[in-house]
Amino acid sequence: MKGTWKHWLYTHYHWVVAAVVFLEFSTAIGLANNIYSIYLIPVTEGLGVSRGVFSLAPSIKYLAAFFSNLAFGLLYRHWGYRQTATVALALTGVAYVGYALARNMAPFYLGAVLVGLSEAFCSTAGTARVISAWFHRHQGLVLGVVMASSGIGGSLFSVVMTAVMTRWSWRAALGISAGLLFLASVLVVLLVRDAPAWMGLQPLGDEEDRQRAKARQTRRPADWDGIPMAVLKRRGFFYVILLATFLVGIVNYAVFPIVAAHLQDRGLSAAGAASVQGVMFLAMAGAKIVEGLCCDRFSARSVMVFCLLSTAGGTALLALSGSAAMAIAAVILFSFGLATTTVMLPTLTTELFGERDYSSALGAQLAAISLSGVIALPAMNFSFDLLGSYVPGLWCLALVTLVTLGLYLIAFRGARRERRCMEAAYV
């Protein structure tokens, strides 16, 4: 068998797993990035409901995702990525079938529960776990590229599904989306394995890491203990981090779903607004890779500061946007902030808290992100119903981002102080 393409494929199966997870992530998250944006106007007009009523659906989804993230560790230990992601994608597909057949908002609310409960397993948490299991070398780059697929998928589906709605209807677009999710679930169950040990393989780069660590007589990076969760729970800076993370979610989840509707309100056509939103998702894909590379060269703290300043500038520019050119500039700036909840949170968690209780520390932040989604979009859309415009809300969110930056700077200082104290105690 050696020397054949089958042997080569077997020994390089790491890249098969990465490719399938890339497709799964681009489909599930790419479609999710559009469900409450490009469908906002056609669905509310088709069902005769207000934007505020429609935006209760993402609140339900994020509340369900909060519990999904809390249960992720336990369920993943029992069933792993392959089984949980397959079921999650299938349940999400069922939800989209319900959306396509909806005659009122009930299927959107029930579907939101299914999507939210499934989210952890086919989104950031599950993806990070399966990639870390297969890759020790190139792990950050592979994770960044895979997570960038949500922007690529979001951009593609924004244009394609808008064209489907223009030619046929929003129901047809949601039905096609359901079929894509079912296809993704089939690919995962057929091709993905939870760990290379299932196939008698090792993680990519595992042996090289061991040899380099032995030659240098140092511990491997993954062996660094970090700050225990028991200590973090007693430190104020950890709760400041959680509050700042919550506010990051508020800004992101309030802004990106309303971009297409806001730009149509400002005079752009539906196709033009969808194209700008497509640019935003493509820029987000690039931002994830750039941020990952910058974190390798600089500190994650410095990159996070840049992302927050970019978010504030992009949000303010979006409030002023009255042309396609200005809107494109706004969403490109804002795209760096959109990447913070995927690439930046895992990287920042490792830098600040280490590896000892990494899963618990990251899980707490992802739960905070989920909670922010419960209130962000309804607040934004109810403000539109009251004021007739998203502009006042966008200005408020730009200010919230600057407050968030201040909170992060305070928390960074506290985390550095705690780490210095722990390192001094080890000497």
Most confident of 32-41, 105-114, 268-277: 105-114
Give, for 363, the enclosing helix (H) or strand (E): helix 358-387
Residue 190: the pLDDT is: 93
Q: What is the pLDDT of residues 138-154, one digit of tens each?
A: 777 787 788 888 878 87
C-beta of residue 277 within 8 angstroms of C-beta of residue 148: no
Q: Assign 206 a pLDDT band (cuts: 50, 70, 90).
A: low
Tokens of 21: 């997870």
Q: Assign 210 a pLDDT band (cuts: 50, 70, 90).
A: low
Average predicted confidence (pLDDT) for the chain: 84
The residue among 378 and 61 whose pLDDT is bigger is 61
Q: Assign 195 a pLDDT band (cuts: 50, 70, 90).
A: confident
- Would you call 204 helix, strand, or coil by DSSP? strand
Q: How many C-beta atoms surround the C-beta of residue 212 within 10 A?
A: 12
Q: Assign 294 a pLDDT band (cuts: 50, 70, 90).
A: confident
Q: What is the pLDDT of residues 312-371, one digit of tens each?
A: 999 999 999 878 889 999 999 998 888 787 778 877 887 888 767 766 787 788 888 888
DSSP conformation letters of 114-164: HHHHHHHHHSHHHHHHHHHHHBSTTHHHHHHHHHHHHHHHHHHHHHHHHHH
Question: Of 10-14, 109-113, 170-174, 410-414, where does mean pLDDT reach its minimum?
Answer: 10-14
Instruction: Give yes or no for residue 224 having a pLDDT over 60.
Output: no
The size of the chain, in residues, is 427
Residue 376: the pLDDT is: 84
Residue (of 404, 317, 334, 409) closest to 369 by Cα position: 404
Q: Residue range 196-219: average pLDDT?
A: 63
The residue among 110 and 297 whose pLDDT is bigger is 110
Q: Residue range 368-380: average pLDDT?
A: 83
Q: What is the pLDDT of residues 29-39, one digit of tens each?
A: 889 878 877 88
Q: Assign 213 a pLDDT band (cuts: 50, 70, 90).
A: very low
Q: Residue range 223-227: average pLDDT?
A: 62
- In eight-state DSSP terms, residue 38 is T
Residue 223: the pLDDT is: 43
Q: Assign 421 a pLDDT band (cuts: 50, 70, 90).
A: confident
Q: What is the pLDDT of residues 42-74, one digit of tens each?
A: 999 999 988 778 878 888 888 898 888 777 777
- In eight-state DSSP terms, residue 299 is -
Q: What residue type is assigned to position 309 of the chain?
A: L
Residue 351: the pLDDT is: 82
Q: Assign 169 a pLDDT band (cuts: 50, 70, 90).
A: very high
Q: Residue range 152-172: average pLDDT?
A: 88
Q: Assign 19 a pLDDT band (cuts: 50, 70, 90).
A: very high
The residue among 333 and 299 whose pLDDT is bigger is 333
Residues 6+ apart with CB under 8 A from 18: 131, 134, 135, 142, 145, 146
Q: What residue type is assigned to position 238 of the chain?
A: F
- What is the rounded CA–CA span in Å between residue 324 and residue 168? 26
Tokens of 316: 């303010």
Most confident of 73-87, 239-253, 327-341: 239-253
- What is the rounded CA–CA span in Å between residue 241 and residue 420? 18
Q: Assign 79 a pLDDT band (cuts: 50, 70, 90).
A: confident
- Would you call 383 helix, strand, or coil by DSSP? helix
